Amino acid sequence: MSMVADSWVIARRNLIRMTRIPEMVLFGIIQPVMFVVLFTYVFGGSMKIGDTTDPDVYKDFLMPGIFAQTVTFATAGSAAGIADDAQKGLMDRFRSLPMARGAVLTGRTVADLVQTALTLIILAAVALMVGWRTGTAESTNAARILAGFGLLLLLGYAFTWIGALIGLSVRTPEAATSGGIIWLFPVTFISNAFVDSSQMTPWVRHIADWNPFSATVQAARVLFGSPGVVQSDAWPMQHPVWASLLWSVLIVALFRTLAVRKYRSAVS
């Protein structure tokens, strides 16, 4: 209970800070909205999904990938924020207080998750305005749609722990921003987020099919009832919901352990 209470104090501090610096939230929303518009109207109609180049099919195929990219790109903000707190000596101040060591990082990641959820809600509204729709099959219902967004947020939360480790491992917020985002480009683009992975060369497709990012995108498409779901014999693509859960939980378990250990050594 002490750990939960301490984490909430830190999370509340970061949420209040976000409200006092609204441009942090604003700029975090503008970028994914630009991706939605650009990919929809620039690439729509030129991408082959299955046997069709129908722009409406690509639009429904694309949106889960954009959602997943948005929640994972929040990693850079987490890394920069933690690096900034460390540079200003705030971590040392927290260490002097009678609080759980892991609460500082847990509170930060929870606050980032709230901001990511807000961004995702606005992005979903924009997607609806440009024509994105969930499936009309009987199996597609509100519970499945919420489950799809839940998996996306879980992936985003898992990746913020990677950002926390990066933020503790560098000396400046600028380095944390670069280090927090540069590795995301191969992760998000060597995946099934924007193109049908069956169109890739075999070795690249194998990487894409086993990419944790691809598993969550595939799970979201299945739960949303999106047309043009990529078919593959790889286990994560055959069981995307379970694969997404397993990958996210493993990432949280591994990188939370590493980040808390790094925090303890960094401030000692």
Report pLDDT digits (tens) over 212-267.
Answer: 999 999 999 989 887 656 677 889 999 999 999 999 999 999 999 999 888 887 65
Q: How far apart are CA 261 and CA 3, in angstroms?
A: 16
Residue 50 banded pLDDT, cuts 50, 70, 90: low
Counting the structural domains of the chain, the total is 1
The overall average pLDDT reported for the chain is: 85
Containing domain of residue 248, as a range?
Answer: 2-267
Q: How far apart are CA 259 and CA 267, in angstroms?
A: 12
φ, ψ of residue 49 in degrees (nearest 5): -115, 110
Q: What angle do CA 233, 236, 239 make, to 5 degrees?
A: 90
Are 107 and 11 in contact by the 8 Å Cβ rule? The answer is yes
